[in-house]
Amino acid sequence: MNGLNVSKRTIGVDFTASEEARVQLWAPEAKEVELLIPGKNKTVSLTCKEQGYWMAETNHLQPGDLYYFELDGKKQLPDPASLSQPDDVLGASQALDISSFKWEDGSWQHFPLKEYISYEIHIGTFTSEGTFAAAEKKLDYLVDLGITAVEIMPVAQFSGSRNWGYDGVYPFCVQHSYGGAQGLQSFVNACHIKGLAVILDVVYNHIGPEGNHLAEFGPYFTEKYRTPWGNAINFDDAWCDGVRKFFIENALMWFRDFHIDALRMDAVHAIKDFSPTHILQEIRQEVDLLMQQTGRKHYLIVELDLNDTRFINPLSKLGYGMDAQWIDEFHHALRVTSGQEKTGYYSDFEAIESLAKSYQDAYVYDGAFSEHRKKVFGIKTENPGEQFVVFSQNHDHVGNRMLGERTSQLVSFEMQKLLAGAVLVSPYLPMLFMGEEYGEKNPFQYFVSHKDPELAEAVRKGRREEFKAFHIEGEAPDPVSEETFERSKLRWDSVDQEPHKTMLSYYKKLIALRKSQSPLYVLNRKEVSVEYKKETQVIILRRQHKMQDIICLMNFSKQEQPVDVPVYASLWYKLLGSSDQEWAGPKDMPDRFSGELALTLPPESITLYSNHYE
């Protein structure tokens, strides 16, 4: 009874061609289950099948109707697999026929993961309106920037209208204030028409606190483990089969019914599962079956705070089969190298040296002793560059600062350009955080809209405690205040003003080079070499492909620095210089120079040279 059918929904409410509702609920310890339709004053009894699944087929429930479940004659509860919560997390569920959406993306050709240049957005703060419909209007801007994939922070229904999304309590339900299921489908459809892939951030390591009814339906959680955010999800304890199916079905739904191209799974290191087949492996297997049926390609990307290639190795090599992972270590090394503080977990990273190692080896800690962790950490990786996602900013590393300052508030204009270049010349998949491409000045702060006063106060207290580890003085912005949320929205009117206009043009040039120069877009880590001088804070990154070489000269110091360029070619031609006056810099670098000559690098600059003239 718990068998999966990858071609259609088999939990929650689904509709047949004749609009008959098929209802299935997993409640293994219930003695009686009824479906209540208040608007029609109807009650439908469900029949218990195998392994705790209750089922019914009825014509009484139609698309648009509100409904509840009632277990053992007790209180009315929304559907755990609800697709719509128009009256927030405590209200009734709404029946939807998500198969009724008219897709226009039939000609969409999903491209290889190695071509991803991602752009992370939070729907609520990406535009002033905070909806999918408003975000659709910005897609031409992203295409013009050179982005190939839009990554959406979690949209599972949460309490209220303000949240990062990691407090979602209905994994199948798209946040109503953003535009709901149809709003997301329309957004994905529009992205595909414009040639953009869509990555959706999902959370399979915990469920948010307010409106979380899962435990009342069954043993969705286990006391065997804990996560930093509460009880761990039950992937390997008694009755775990129903829980596993619930989340596997969720992954399949996004791909099949919403045409999502890739999932980014939040903090998978916090998923505890000692089953013979890890839940991530099983998701991989079922997604592979779906791809065989549909012919569409889908990727699984994980946020992983473990330097463990088991997660990204293929199933054939006894791995979990994830296609790629975020590597925060690149960010940490880049941040410290740019001169920012070495507090908390940043204390493990050395300026220049750690960044050079990340360029060469992906993981900074690949079997070395971590002073912050007080243990040897990580293993070496030879996995290809397209399995690693890198960035200079993301929602976590901006929003988890006490004041939510973006890089534009922490470093100089010249350093911002250097950081952008450092990411986009890496042999990995680059990701931008919304607004960084024009130097957005508004912060991105942590915000929630919990209605429970005790929970709201607990969140405030938790934020204060969190910053003690970083020895930060002062008071964190109130995460419950609407002002904190409004303050975090992008200021699109600044895009056409200086220096934002120049920064945007610079990003466009960098991305265009990334796409057009084969040494940059071919992510063969064997064709990467790095030299560095810690005393001068200079890194020379060499990218090769076939007969073309590109050297990336990065000076992270605040002084001019001489550099001896290795003689890979008799003549070098400039592709880009961040210090050039074209980009409001202090000094034009030579358009060409002999490989036997020394160069002087401007402070906080990156210059790219190629041995091919174009």
The residues assigned a catalytic role are 266, 303
Residue 11 neighbours by CB under 8 Å, 6+ apart: 24, 25, 26, 81, 245, 246, 249
Within 107-266, residue ranges assigned H as helices are: 123-126, 132-136, 139-145, 180-193, 214-217, 240-258
User: Residue 230: enclosing H or E segment and its boundaries?
Assistant: strand 230-233
User: Which amino acid does the sequence have at 92?
Assistant: A
Do 262 and 301 contact (CB within 8 A), yes or no? Answer: yes
User: Residue 360: enclosing H or E segment and its boundaries?
Assistant: helix 353-361
Length in residues, the chain = 614
How would you class 453 by CB atoms within 10 Å of its CB: exposed for 0-12, middle for 13-18, buried for 19 or more?
exposed
Within 178-326, residue ranges assigned H as helices are: 180-193, 214-217, 240-258, 279-294
CA distance linking residue 218 with residue 312, whole number of Å: 31
Q: What is the DSSP string of 585-602?
A: -S-PPPSEEETTSEEEEP
Name the CA dihedral angle for 477, 481, 484, 485, rounded to a multiple of 10 degrees. 150
Q: Which residue do the tokens 């042999």 mark?
A: 427
User: Residue 421: enclosing H or E segment and its boundaries?
Assistant: helix 413-424
Q: What is the DSSP string of 60-114?
A: S--TT-EEEEEETT--EE--TT-S--TT-TTS-EE---GGG-----TT--PPPGG
Within 477-614, residue ranges assigned H as helices are: 482-487, 500-516, 518-521
DSSP state of 519: H
**Which pair of structure tokens corresponds to residue 164?**
């990062």
Residue 31 neighbours by CB under 8 Å, 6+ apart: 72
How would you class 318 by CB atoms within 10 Å of its CB: exposed for 0-12, middle for 13-18, buried for 19 or more?
exposed
Query: Helices 413-424 & 328-337, crossing angle to 10 degrees?
Result: 150
Do 279 and 302 contact (CB within 8 A), yes or no? Answer: no
Residue 323 neighbours by CB under 8 Å, 6+ apart: 113, 262, 299, 300, 301, 312, 387
Residue 516 neighbours by CB under 8 Å, 6+ apart: none
- Does residue 461 sit in helix, strand or coil? helix
